[in-house]
Amino acid sequence: MIVKTMAGLCSLTVLLALTSAAYADDPKFEYGKAEELKDIKAVVWKAAAQAGFIFTSGNSHTTTFSAGANASRKEGDNKLSLEATAAFGKSELRVVNDANNDMLVAPDEIQVVNAETTNNYMLRARYDRFLTTHDSLFVTARVGADKIAGKTLIAGGQIGYSRLLFKTVTQELASEVGYDFSHERYAANDVDPLSIHSARLFVGYKGKLGVETSLGAALEWLTNLNAEKTAPNDRNGDGNAANDLPGVDAFKDNRLTGKLELTTKLRNNISFQFSVTGKLDSAPAPLPNIKDTKGYAVGFQPIAEELDTITEAQLIIDLL
């Protein structure tokens, strides 16, 4: 049996231009295709990695780092995929503290505050079992966190059915339907972990706009099947029910994620990629307490924004 090792097929991708760090839970156009495996007689490994870094000093002090890696194993009608992503960013911000309330800024009233702007990671695993050329069953598992969005743990998995709707020389369209389980822990004080059972629908498209240019799009929709209720009275035990968070009824926690990606090859080993990602959560997580404060006022619990957008522009160089 001939086994291609992971190291032998590993390619390293360097991001030379990066406008925003990768988000922890982007949708992936990763549906299985049986034709990938039909001529495979032995085990085949593939692997790739990428990393990006931005550092500024002087008038602007920022540090942003992102990294990712993926690997896959194919044998017969089976495919196993692994993926890891992480991003971290922080900035130094100048803020004014008008201590004497004279509406004038003195030298000792200017402070520099360090703030995290990105802090997330995600590990994913996926197994595909191909039934026909166009049909397959899949199961996935994931664990991660997105602290800026108020989530210290995101864990769960999916199971479902995948169908390749159509395929031509230049275009592919696939869909998935199934079940998603998510367990979330929050950074906010006195907020219990939450388990969410959801129905899932996914649609993915890939097409060629020319010999060297391709377009990819992905859209995922999740809706909760269970009611996400908190205790009816004084859930955090502080003696004041006004601090309690409202519950969410079934089918009211809708999460929609979409991504549009354009890639063009400049030379044999150099490509340019531009992508836009949008994430909409109709029931976002509560925000954690602000550092160096005692928390929020009675009856006030801010929550994260419903919509996040990410724009990336990157130059990709295949070194190996």
Question: How many whole angstroms separate alpha carbon 251 and alpha carbon 233?
Answer: 23
Of 104, 103, 140, 100, which Cα lies nearest the Cα of 122? 140
CB under 8 Å to 95, separation ≥6 — which residues? Answer: 110, 111, 112, 113
Asked if 242 and 299 count as a contact pair (C-beta separation under 8 A), the reply is: yes
- Alpha-carbon distance values, 129 to 4, 34, 43, 79, 138 (Å): 21, 9, 15, 7, 6
Q: Residue 23 has what pLDDT?
A: 39
In the chain, the domains with their CATH numbers are 6-318 (2.40.160.40)
Going by their DSSP bridges, the two strands 11-15 and 171-186 should be labelled as unpaired
Question: How many whole angstroms separate alpha carbon 85 and alpha carbon 28?
Answer: 12
Question: How many whole angstroms separate alpha carbon 285 and alpha carbon 258?
Answer: 20
Share of the chain above pLDDT 70, in %: 79
Kindly report, residue by residue over 27-79, the tens digit of the pLDDT. Answer: 444 555 555 555 556 788 888 777 778 888 887 788 988 888 888 999 889 99
Phi and psi (nearest 5°) for 170? -115, -5
pLDDT surpassing 80 at residue 25: no
**Which regions of the chain does DSSP assign to beta strands (E)?**
11-15, 44-56, 61-75, 78-96, 110-130, 135-146, 151-167, 171-186, 194-208, 213-224, 254-267, 270-281, 307-318
Structure tokens of 152? Answer: 């210290």
Highest-pLDDT range among 59-63, 112-116, 141-145: 141-145
Asked if 258 and 277 count as a contact pair (C-beta separation under 8 A), the reply is: yes
Angular region, 299: left φ>0, alpha ψ -120 to 50, beta rest: left
Going by their DSSP bridges, the two strands 44-56 and 11-15 should be labelled as parallel
3-state class (DSSP) for residue 245? coil
Phi and psi (nearest 5°) for 149? -85, 5
Please tell me what DSSP assigns to residue 148.
G
Q: Which of 8-12, 64-68, 156-160, 255-259 has the lowest mean pLDDT?
A: 8-12
* Residues forming beta bridges with residue 104, ordered by sequence position: none
Confidence of residue 139 (pLDDT cuts 50, 70, 90): very high
Q: Residue 38 has what pLDDT?
A: 53
Higher pLDDT among residues 14 and 178, named by residue? 178
- Alpha-carbon distance values, 87 to 53, 65, 126, 280 (Å): 10, 6, 21, 20
Segment 146-171 mean pLDDT: 92
Confidence of residue 123 (pLDDT cuts 50, 70, 90): very high
Kindly report, residue by residue over 269-315, the tens digit of the pLDDT. Answer: 788 889 999 999 998 877 777 766 777 777 777 888 899 888 877 77
Q: Residue 141 has what pLDDT?
A: 97
Share of the chain above pLDDT 90, in %: 39
Of 14, 86, 82, which Cα lies nearest the Cα of 45? 82
- Alpha-carbon distance values, 291 to 90, 113, 188, 294, 295 (Å): 15, 11, 11, 8, 9
Of 176, 217, 174, 220, which Cα lies nearest the Cα of 35? 174
CB under 8 Å to 209, separation ≥6 — which residues? Answer: 215
Of 301, 311, 201, which Cα lies nearest the Cα of 255? 201
Of 205, 136, 214, which Cα lies nearest the Cα of 173? 205
In this prediction the pTM is 0.74
Q: Residue 21 has what pLDDT?
A: 35
Name the CA radius of gyration of the chain, rounded. Answer: 23
Q: Residue 112 has what pLDDT?
A: 81
Q: Residue 217 has what pLDDT?
A: 96
